[in-house]
Chains A and B, each alone.
Chain A
């Protein structure tokens, strides 16, 4: 998976210092992590723990390779589609010029829904 932020020849960990530069790469990583784990699967209560762990692990590992200038917190939620309503919200006390959040709602699957929230905080 090539996640070099656009506009930076050669990439490199020291190149990215602010969230808005990291954001497009982060979105791609999160989307790729979810679709690679959940594509074509049916909701199975026994396996969902492993799926969620895999999604989180892939996100963090790929993000580390993109930039080491940030602290990451990724939270993943897999819900079985049974007609129930769900809400999620987040509040943060941080430096809005360098920190940010990436949200992904993945609904491509017939039996389940995946919500990933990724908080990125600059060091």
Chain B
């Protein structure tokens, strides 16, 4: 912590926190990425944002970014996973009788890392959200 001479950072001065390595190899029992919990959050967000909506090109652009942000904020806030890196990917498409296939594959530590994936569709659009949680030692 960079301190000024009188023992406290002055207002507006940048405070740099130096974090020492913890040498912890595994997450605690209570701090694991639980896919079921994350899935519930993601489906709630998709339902609330997209229920009854139609596909509109310009609106969808902002909608999808907002959904991504909401999912990420809620996962960070509600799931107790401080040592995890979170990646959220959301896809939104128009329903037009086309065929779509979305798949993912990962190279990671299967003991600590996991993912959750949720689908949503209504008669005008379909959406798929994938949330990956990667543990950082």
Residues of chain A touching chain B, judged by Cβ–Cβ distance below 8 Å, are 43, 45, 48-49, 51-53, 56-57, 59-60, 63-64, 71-95, 99, 115, 117, 119, 121, 123
| Nearest-CB residue, chain A, relative to B97 | A82
Inter-chain contact A71/B106, CB cutoff 8 Å: yes
Inter-chain contact A76/B104, CB cutoff 8 Å: yes
Inter-chain contact B85/A84, CB cutoff 8 Å: no
| Nearest-CB residue, chain A, relative to B135 | A71
How far is the CB of B127 from the nearest CB of chain A, in Å? 9
* B116 CB–A CB distance under 8 Å: no
Query: Which 4 pairs, one residue from A and one from B, show the smallest C-beta to C-beta distance?
Result: A84-B96, A56-B105, A75-B104, A82-B98
Sample of 10 A–B contacts (CB below 8 Å): A51-B101, A53-B105, A76-B103, A78-B101, A85-B55, A86-B94, A87-B60, A92-B85, A92-B88, A119-B87
How far is the CB of A62 from the nearest CB of chain B, in Å? 11
- Residues from chain A with a CB closer than 8 A to the CB of B80 are none
Would A89 and B115 be within 8 Å (CB), given that A71-B134, A121-B134 are in contact?
Answer: no
A71's contact among B55, B60, B108, by CB below 8 Å, is which? B108
* B5 CB–A CB distance under 8 Å: no
Interface size class of B (residues with CB under 8 A): 35 or more
| Nearest-CB residue, chain A, relative to B68 | A91
* B118 CB–A CB distance under 8 Å: no
* B100 CB–A CB distance under 8 Å: yes
- Residues from chain B with a CB closer than 8 A to the CB of A117 are 89
Inter-chain contact A93/B76, CB cutoff 8 Å: yes
* B95 CB–A CB distance under 8 Å: yes
* B90 CB–A CB distance under 8 Å: yes
Inter-chain contact A73/B65, CB cutoff 8 Å: no
Inter-chain contact A88/B90, CB cutoff 8 Å: yes
Inter-chain contact A79/B93, CB cutoff 8 Å: yes
Q: How far is the CA of A74 from the CA of B103 in the complex (A)?
A: 8
Q: How far is the CA of A82 from the CA of B95 in the complex (A)?
A: 10
Q: Which residues B29-87 have CB closer than 8 A to chain A?
A: 55, 57, 60-61, 64-65, 68-69, 71-72, 76, 85-87
Inter-chain contact A85/B106, CB cutoff 8 Å: no
Inter-chain contact A76/B102, CB cutoff 8 Å: yes
- Residues from chain A with a CB closer than 8 A to the CB of B113 are 71
Q: How far is the CA of A87 from the CA of B65 in the complex (A)?
A: 10
